[in-house]
Structure 1
Amino acid sequence: MPKNYITDIFVILFYFIAVFYFGFHFSKRKSSEEDFYLGKKQIHWVWLLFSLVATETSSLTFLSIPSLSYKGDYSFLQVSIGYIFGRTIVAYLLLPAYFGGERISIYEYLKERFGTSAQRSMSLIFTVSRILGDGIRLYVTSLPIAFLISRMNLFAWNETHVGIISLFLLSIATIIYSVYGGFRAIVFTDSLQLVIYLLGGLFSLGLLIHLTSHQNNLYGTFTQLFDSGKLSIFHLHWLDTDNSYFFLFAILGGAFISIGSHGTDLMLVQRIIASKDLQTGQKILISSGIFVCIQFLLFLSIGSLLYIFFQGKTVAPDKAFSLFIIEEIPSPFLGLLLSAILASAMSTLSSTINSLSLTWARDWGMDRFFSPKLISLIFGVILFFSSLVPFALSEQLEKGILEVGLTIFSYTLGPTIALFLFASKRSKPKFPNWIISPLLFGSILILIILTQSIKLPFTTLIPAGIFIFSSGWTLLHLAFSGSRS
Structure 2
Amino acid sequence: MSPLSVLLTLAAYFVILFTVSYLAGRKADNAGFFTGNRRSSWPVVAFAMIGASISGVTYVSVPGMVKDSGFGYLQMVLGFIAGQFIIAFVLTPLFYRLNLVSVYEYLESRFGRASYRTGAWFFFLSKMLGAAVRLMLVCITLQLLVFGPCGLPFVLNAALTVALVWLYTWRGGVKSLIWTDSLKTLCLIVSVVLCIGYMASGLGLTLDGAAEAVMSSELSRIFFFDDPNNRQYFFKQFLAGVFTTIAMNGLDQDMMQRNLSCRNSRESQKNLLTSAVLQFFVILLFLMLGVLLYLFAESRGIRVEKSDELFPLIATGGYLPIVVGILFIVGLTASAYSAAGSALTALTTSFTVDILGIKGKTEAEVARLRRRVHAGMAVLMGIVIVAINLLNNTSVINAVYTLASYTYGPILGLFAFGIFCRRRVRDRYIPLVALASPALCYVLQRNSEAWFGGYQFSYELLIFNALFTCLGLWMVSLPRKNV
Q: Is the TM-score greater than 0.5? A: yes
- Note the C-alpha offset of 1:105: 0.5
In the alignment, what sits opposite 1:385?
383
- Note the C-alpha offset of 1:467: 2.1
C-alpha separation between the residues in 1 aligned to 2:374 and 2:225? 46
C-alpha separation between the residues in 2 aligned to 1:386 and 1:49? 31
- Note the C-alpha offset of 1:459: 2.5
Q: What percent of counterpart residues are identical?
A: 22
Aligned partner (choices 170, 191, 209) of residue 161 of structure 2: 170
Taking the TM superposition and a 5 Å limit, the aligned residue runs for 1:356-435 are: 356-367=347-358, 368=361, 370-393=368-391, 397-398=393-394, 400-425=395-420, 427-429=422-424, 431-435=425-429
In the alignment, what sits opposite 1:318?
308
For normalisation by structure 2, the TM-score amounts to 0.89
- 2:225 is the counterpart of 1:236: yes
- Note the C-alpha offset of 1:284: 1.2
- Note the C-alpha offset of 1:218: 6.6
- C-alpha distance 203-147 of structure 1, shift in aligned 2 (>3 A): farther
3-state DSSP class of the match of 1:94?
Answer: helix
The answer to whether the 8 Å contact 1:189/1:347 transfers is yes
The answer to whether the 8 Å contact 1:11/1:336 transfers is no
Taking the TM superposition and a 5 Å limit, the aligned residue runs for 1:71-86 are: 71-86=68-83
Aligned partner (choices 304, 325, 334) of residue 343 of structure 1: 334
- C-alpha distance 469-156 of structure 1, shift in aligned 2 (>3 A): closer
- Note the C-alpha offset of 1:342: 1.2
- C-alpha distance 144-481 of structure 1, shift in aligned 2 (>3 A): closer
- C-alpha distance 140-325 of structure 1, shift in aligned 2 (>3 A): same
Q: What is the CA RMSD across the aligned residues, in angstroms?
A: 2.5
The answer to whether the 8 Å contact 2:448/2:457 transfers is no
In the alignment, what sits opposite 1:302?
289
C-alpha separation between the residues in 2 aligned to 1:130 and 1:83? 19
In the alignment, what sits opposite 1:181?
172
**371-380 vs 248-257, which moves further:** 371-380
C-alpha separation between the residues in 2 aligned to 1:476 and 1:156? 57
- Note the C-alpha offset of 1:122: 0.4
- Note the C-alpha offset of 1:310: 0.8
Unaligned runs of 5+ residues in structure 1 are none
Q: Deviations over 1:91-122 (max 9, x none)?
A: 11222110113320011111111111111100
For normalisation by structure 1, the TM-score amounts to 0.89
In the alignment, what sits opposite 1:283?
270
The answer to whether the 8 Å contact 1:45/1:284 transfers is yes
- C-alpha distance 253-238 of structure 1, shift in aligned 2 (>3 A): same
In the alignment, what sits opposite 1:56?
53
AA paired with 2:19? Answer: Y
The answer to whether the 8 Å contact 1:58/1:345 transfers is yes
How many corresponding residue pairs?
Answer: 466
- Note the C-alpha offset of 1:223: 6.1
Unaligned runs of 5+ residues in structure 2 are 450-455
Q: Deviations over 1:307-347 (max 9, x none)?
A: 11111432121100010111135335533321221111111
- Note the C-alpha offset of 1:248: 1.1
3-state DSSP class of the match of 1:30?
Answer: coil
AA paired with 2:416? Answer: L
- Note the C-alpha offset of 1:441: 2.0
3-state DSSP class of the match of 2:172?
Answer: helix
- C-alpha distance 44-329 of structure 1, shift in aligned 2 (>3 A): farther
Taking the TM superposition and a 5 Å limit, the aligned residue runs for 1:213-232 are: 213=204, 228-232=217-221
Q: Deviations over 1:66-95 (max 9, x none)?
A: 011134310100000010011101211222
**123-132 vs 332-341, which moves further:** 332-341
- 2:270 is the counterpart of 1:273: no
